Amino acid sequence: MHRSQLGGLMATLVLLFMANAVAAEPNNAGATGQPTPDVYFKFENVKVFTSKKAKDPKGKEVKWTTGRTEGPFDVYVHGNTIHKILPAGSKNIALPLSEPPPEINVINGTGYTLMPGLIDAHTHLAYATLKQEELLSSDSGFMYVAATKAATDMLMRGFTSVRDLGGPVFGLKRGIDKDLVAGPRIWPSGAFISQTGGHGDFRMPTDLPAGPGDFIYGEQIGAMAIADSPDMVRKRAREQLALGASQLKLMAGGGVSSAYDPLDVTQYTTEEMRAAVEAAENWGTYVAVHAYTNKAVNQAIEAGVKCIDHGQLLEDEEPFKTMAKKGVWLSLQAFFNDGDRKSPYPEGSDKHKKQMSLYEGTKRAYQLALKHRVKLAWGTDVLYDPDYAAKQGRMLSKLVTDQKLFTAAEALTMATAANSELLALSGERAPYKGSLGVVDEGALADLLLVKGDPVADIKLIEKPEENFLVIMKDGRIYKNITKSQVVGSSASP
């Protein structure tokens, strides 16, 4: 048996053991959550935070309004969707007849806020919580087990959906979708597609030069896909799509953690990038790129890329104007030198210098994006740092409390409704059907019950273990530390 196959088999056995162990824990819904058929959940007397689509004079929906907290309401969930939202205390609610009669699980929401599950638009579940040296020296089985725990922890922080922008997570997604383990919905990109020497080239110098068909371990397990020339980019793009990618991720410029490339370099030609864009569009989806600089961003937009991830080193306002004009998304990350993360790189090293330059450009990038009304998404892009991964909510709240770039309502809207619109760019390739990021009738029931009002105090999301009383994904409760009760259908719901 091939080494990577053996590692994957061992990981699968461990995941099954973990799933059974979680399910056996008391006072825990477990990896499979609570069964939903013929069961209603009623969030009673609860305030609701959500966003709506604004309309132009012709009635066309054009943008998300900033969300706000309203209510109180009674919110009913049935199956995996929000069934009804009614003023609190409404009587005589007709429920479909069934035999036996449906149960109503009542969760008292007095003093609490019901909001959509949070969405992280830039994750790497396979790489988030292992140190870089561990990843480089471990077999795939260990990596998959760590990724599984990272996914479960992320769900317990209130993140019910993520766009994974590079890494071998197809198996993890399948395990979550089949209820083997608990985790968020995943929009997977598959392997990083990178040129030789690019930000996604993890090969050692001793691996070069590489001959035709020479695939190192990282390529074999789907961590990276090295492609030079339009034809090879097209082939690697099609491979990721065939494996189940909901969007593609290309490396269009230099990065911090990679070994070979300075930050200012431009990677891929327009023709190479266009080959990936054509493959994605023919498949019904889009390409996102890692890019920081004017040249890298402008070339990507010219090639038809729909989402720029990063952009902290853009030198002037022109790329922001272009993104706004063409409707290209900018997915920014809260990279600040604020003490929340200790740099893993020695001070004075090339990687440390690269990291500091990104910190310096982040606030300006946000300001120019807001000035030109660019479509903004929010993501974390945590790599190789378990302590920083645990601060996921803090990476959103600091944009409000520390940097003063957004109001709390604006930041929460960005991490819910706006991010859901970015996920929808995958079109028919989106792995889950239905509305996300809102508390609305007919929307998917990905919900958080918050102890207090996050609009009044966004720091509540920094401590999910204390302040997220209920975590629901797809109509299933994965955490409930309230006092709920079950009543029969004959009771006034």
Instruction: Indicate the average pLDDT of the chain.
Output: 89
Q: Quick check: 440 pLDDT over 60?
A: yes
CA dihedral 356, 358, 364, 369 (to 10 degrees): -170
Rounded average pLDDT over 391-400: 98
Instruction: Give the number of other CB atoms < 10 A from CB of residue 426.
Output: 20
pLDDT at site 23: 37
Whether residue 286 contacts residue 425, with contact meaning beta carbons closer than 8 Å, is answered with yes
More confident residue, 260 or 64: 260
Min mean pLDDT across 68-72, 111-115, 266-270 is at 68-72
pLDDT at site 34: 52
Q: What is the pTM of this model?
A: 0.90
Min mean pLDDT across 66-75, 256-265, 435-444 is at 256-265
What sign has the CA pseudo-torsion 230, 232, 238, 244?
A: negative
Q: Which residues pair with 444 in a beta bridge?
A: 81
pLDDT at site 9: 46
Q: Quick check: 181 pLDDT over 80?
A: yes
pLDDT at site 100: 65
More confident residue, 28 or 63: 63
Q: Quick check: 285 pLDDT over 60?
A: yes
pLDDT at site 205: 83
* H helices present in 283-328, as ranges: 294-303, 318-326
Q: How confident is the model at residue 24 (pLDDT cuts 50, 70, 90)?
A: very low
Whether residue 204 contacts residue 260, with contact meaning beta carbons closer than 8 Å, is answered with no
pLDDT per residue as tens digits for the range 351-369? 888 899 989 999 999 999 9
pLDDT at site 21: 41
Strands 287-291 and 307-310, bridge-based pairing: parallel
Q: Which residues pair with 488 in a beta bridge?
A: 103
Whether residue 304 contacts residue 371, with contact meaning beta carbons closer than 8 Å, is answered with no
What totals of helices (H) and strands (E) does the chain contain, helices first? 15, 21
Rounded average pLDDT over 192-215: 86
Q: How confident is the model at residue 182 (pLDDT cuts 50, 70, 90)?
A: very high
Q: From CA 351, how far away is CA 17, in angstroms rounded? A: 39
The token pair at 456 is 């009044």
Domain 118-405: state its class. alpha beta
Rounded average pLDDT over 50-78: 80
Q: How confident is the model at residue 450 (pLDDT cuts 50, 70, 90)?
A: very high
Q: Quick check: 88 pLDDT over 60?
A: yes
pLDDT at site 37: 46
Q: How confident is the model at residue 138 (pLDDT cuts 50, 70, 90)?
A: confident
Q: How far is CA 8 from its chain centroid?
A: 24
Q: From CA 413, how far away is CA 360, in angstroms rounded? A: 25
pLDDT at site 55: 64
Rounded average pLDDT over 407-428: 97
The CATH number for 39-117+439-488, chosen from 3.40.190.10, 2.30.40.10, 3.40.50.300, 3.30.230.10, is 2.30.40.10
The token pair at 223 is 């961590």
Rounded average pLDDT over 295-302: 98
Q: Is 490 exposed, middle or buried (0-12, 13-18, 19+ CB in 10 A)?
A: exposed
Rounded average pLDDT over 323-328: 97
Domain boundaries, the chain: 39-117+439-488, 118-405
Measuring CA to CA, how many Å separate 170 from each of 18, 119, 184, 201, 297? 19, 19, 13, 20, 28
Rounded average pLDDT over 195-223: 84
Q: From CA 378, how far away is CA 365, in angstroms rounded? A: 13
